[in-house]
Amino acid sequence: MVAPIASLRPTRMRTAFRLLAMTVLLGGLSCWFLLGAHRGWTKNQVPIQHTDEITSIQYVTYEQRLVPGLDFLLASIGLAGGLSAASFFFNRNPPHP
């Protein structure tokens, strides 16, 4: 008896998980890069240095702005890795009736 030749085409669910993982990875990397590429923790306030015109004293004000840090980047890499690993739980070949 000869075993049937296995198809090398992955299932749709497996492909969907891998495409979703790639989308999460590229989205997280592009958001991190385009919003500031901060190499520390994520910030939601950014200090801005000002100088008083009359007394020449410098003071700091804070602007409400999101600057994603390495934790944001690592979270997107971890989520993409988890989705990619989850794709291996689906069978390569669908069961034959």
Give the domain range for residue 18.
12-89
User: What is the structure's pLDDT at 1?
Assistant: 54
Q: Give a yes or no: residue 94 inside a domain.
A: no
User: What is the structure's pLDDT at 9?
Assistant: 58
Q: Which helix (H) or strand (E) holds 62?
A: strand 58-67
Q: Give a yes or no: residue 96 inside a domain.
A: no
Q: Give a yes or no: residue 4 inside a domain.
A: no
Position with higher pLDDT, 64 vs 10: 64
Q: Give a yes or no: residue 56 inside a domain.
A: yes
Q: Say how many CA atoms lie within 13 Å of 56 toward its Cβ.
A: 0
Cα–Cα distance between 2 and 60 in angstroms, integer?
A: 77
User: What is the structure's pLDDT at 66?
Assistant: 87
Q: Give a yes or no: residue 60 inside a domain.
A: yes
Q: Give a yes or no: residue 1 inside a domain.
A: no
Cα–Cα distance between 46 and 62 in angstroms, integer?
A: 5
| Count of structural domains, the chain | 1
Please give the model's pTM, rounded to 2 decimal places: 0.71
User: What is the structure's pLDDT at 29?
Assistant: 94
User: What is the structure's pLDDT at 96?
Assistant: 61
